[in-house]
Amino acid sequence: NAGVTQTPKFQVLKTGQSMTLQCAQDMNHNSMYWYRQDPGMGLRLIYYSASEGTTDKGEVPNGYNVSRLNKREFSLRLESAAPSQTSVYFCASSEAPGAGEAFFGQGTRLTVV
């Protein structure tokens, strides 16, 4: 089972460039999430989609946009990358918003120079 698939795994951007991180899940989950993980900060929620057709801001949404393309796919876009967005990004999915088990993708290591 593929589970949650994220692309790309690694990316280096120059300040001001844009990019989209792709995420797809094959578990028929309703809810999908984007987190970033920084040293000493833990995982922080950027945006989430409780169900297909809805998206909402999490704790740290500034500088990001998302699209829930369909039930399977949830993309994260950086319109104008900044060095502060250097981080490891994880996509995750769960059956429902209140489900305790979230399944994570392998992560995207993004460096903005």
The verdict on 86 binding other proteins (CB under 8 A) reads: no
Q: Please, which residue, 17 or 88, has the CB nearer to other proteins?
A: 88
Q: Which of 8, 16, 83, 97 binds other proteins (CB under 8 A)?
A: 97
Residues 43-62 that bind other proteins (CB under 8 A): 43-45, 48, 50, 56, 58
Alpha-carbon distance 33 to 56, whole Å?
Answer: 10
What SS3 class is residue 24?
Answer: strand
Q: Is 113:13 a contact under the CB 8 Å cutoff?
A: yes
User: Terminal CA-to-CA distance of the chain, rounded, Å?
Assistant: 35
- Chain residues in the site for other proteins (CB under 8 A): 35, 40-45, 48, 50, 56, 58, 90, 97-98, 100-102, 104-107
